[in-house]
Each structure stands twice: as structure tokens, then as C-alpha cells.
Amino acid sequence: MVEYDEWGPEKIVMVYDAKTGMKGFSVIDNTALGPAKGGIRLEPDVTIEEVARLARAMTWKCALADLPFGGGKSGIIADPKAVNKQEIVATFSRALKQEIPEQYIAAPDMNMGEGEMKTFANANGSLKACTGKPLDMQGLPHELGSTGFGVFHSILVALDHRNMDVNDVTVAIEGFGNVGQFTAKYLHEKGAKIVAVSDSKGGIYNPAGIDVPKLIEVKNNTRAVGNYEDAKKIRQSELFELDVDVLVPGARPDVITCKNIGDIKAKIVAEAANIPMTGEMEKVLHNEGILVIPDFVCNSGGVISSYVEHIGGDKDKAFKMIEEKITANAKMMLETAKEKCITPRDAGLIIAKDRVKKAMDARYEKMSR
């Protein structure tokens, strides 16, 4: 069941189309700062409760990034390999036409890429309907790696905060899709040692380090990191137990729970995925001296890039803004957390909630005139 509070959600739109079998929903959490911004997650098991939690994370993410966007998220219940996938996406887009783009602006998420965003925009009849579109549609596609670039910079800030040299750290990455690959690429190029990676089919581990460019090639050609030869095969769950400096959960929600949290040995956990654990689990790690970079800071590169696309900017402007905003926001959050002796998430929420509350108060004041 979706929980409502003083922040939202403002609206939940549920849609269905009998001809295509399209079944989906959009959660518009809060629009005080601007139209709700958030991606579409296409999965056979996506739930409205999961999407509502992700929409709330987007509210805080956009506020902390200081963008003129509110928070939203959508889900389409479908097989990502369905032969009529594009038709399903188009039907979903048309069903949300009343909300787009004044109340909600879509973006890619799981199993949604630039091709699906092209379909979504065309079906809606507006380039402003979504971001993450192909370059030939004035877009900045997710495939450029903006989210992973942001994760990379948030990790650099965390390492500096802990007085750790990037050239001396080991990293394990859960999930090796777009975000995981670019996070690994940038960290590897900076001098970090990527020692473990997993995907939906399994994991690999080499304490001496993994050849990241080679691994990316193997993954893209064979669709499985397990086909990389110079590493030991491990179970997906084993990745969370490794003795590494930085752990990057970068796939599904709720992968760190009370069942495995005691096995985590990393000094820093960078939440590249949305809600990979609850706030309570973050507090457990915080009390153990483990620094957690919360999702709404760590993976905000994607929505910052979306904003640049929305205002007509190019890749160079997007990546420059991602580096500047994430570096500044992560530092502000960690300094606030240290000053107030609270978790980074709580520190980030103080800043984000203050911005949203001021916008809500201003909106209500304007409406009451």
C-alpha cells in the first residue's frame, strides 16, 4: 500500500489498454519545485509501492540537486523482451498525455533506453514529454553514461572525506548495465582497482584487479560478466561480503537487508541504484563506521543531465554541471552530517526538505490570494 504524508504523493495515475495488454502507473509525488521528473521502469514484477518509493527519492534528488523539478516515477508491468514492447511504450505515453509535460516529464529507467524514449516522445507528440532521447531528437541519451559519471564523482568526494587515495582503493560493483559500466570505466581510468562485478546471471572476482575495458567488451558481446575468463566465478550475494574499500550497489532495490548487512566489510557504500537499502539499514552501517552515499545524491547525474537536455544544452554542458553539482552537494551533505553527528541521508534530507517546504509554502500562499 502506498503511504501518504505531508509531501505527497499528489497524484497516482493507473492506466490499462486491453488491445496491447499495457498495464502501468505513474506516481506524481511532489510538484512544488516544478513538474515531477522521473524515469519509467519496465519490469514484469514492478509494483506501485516500489514506484512510489522511487518517486519520493526523486523529490529529494531534484531538490538537493537544486533543479526546478519535482519528483515522480512510472512503472510498466511488462516483459522487456515482449515483441510489442514499443507499442506498449507508445500506448503508455498516450495514456499519460493529460499529465505531460506540465505535471510529469518521463525519462529512461530499467529496460528503457533512447529507442523507447523516441517512441514515447513521438507517441505523446512533444519533445518535452521526456528526456533521454536520441541525439538526433535534441536529446542526451542515458547511453552517454551521465549517471555513472555522477556516481564516480560522488565516490571521489567520499574518498576525499575519508582521506583515501583513489589509486589505493578496491571496488566491487553490483550491476553491470549502463550505470555500473560507466562507474567502473571512470574509476578504472582514475586509478581505482575494480576487483568484483556482478550482473543478473552471476558475478566475478579477481583481487588482483579486472581489466575493465575488456570486461565491458565481454559483457556487451555476450550479455554476461561471467564470460570474462580472468576471474573467479562468485554468486551475486557473495559480492556484498567481499573485503573491499568501496561497494557500489547498482541494480535493484533492497539488496542490502538485515540478512546480509552484517557481512558488509566495505568502508564506503555508494548507492548507484535507487533505494538499495532502507534508511534504517543505512543507520546500521553508519554506526559501524561505514560511510553511505545515499542514492538521491550518488546517482543524481542522470536527472542533472535530463535538466540540461530539457533546456536545450549539450553533452559537454551536462557533464560539467554533473561534476559541479554532485561535488558541491556531496561535500555539503557530508559536512552537514559531520557537524550534526547524523547520517549523510539525514543531512541531505534536511537540505532537500527545506527547499521543498519553502516551495510548497510559496505555492499555497499564491493559491490563497
Q: What's the pLDDT tens digit per position in 9-62? A: 999 999 999 999 999 999 999 999 999 999 999 999 999 999 999 999 999 999
pTM of this structure: 0.92
- 142 or 81, which is more confident: 81
DSSP 209: -
The alpha carbons of the chain give a radius of gyration, in whole angstroms, of 20
- Residue 369 pLDDT more than 80? no
Domains and CATH numbers, the chain: 11-143 (3.40.50.10860), 146-301+329-349 (3.40.50.720)
Distance separating alpha carbons of residues 62 and 72, to the nearest angstrom? 10
Q: Which set of grid coordinates corresponds to residue 142? A: 542515458
Q: Mean pLDDT across the chain, nearest whole number?
A: 96
* pLDDT, position 366: 87
Positions of E strands within the chain: 11-17, 22-30, 36-37, 40-43, 70-77, 104-105, 170-174, 193-199, 202-205, 232-234, 246-249, 268-270, 291-293
| Catalytic sites, residue numbers | 73
Query: What confidence tens digit (pLDDT) does each residue in 104-150 have?
Result: 999 999 899 999 999 999 999 999 999 999 999 999 998 899 999 99
The predicted structure's pLDDT at residue 367 = 85
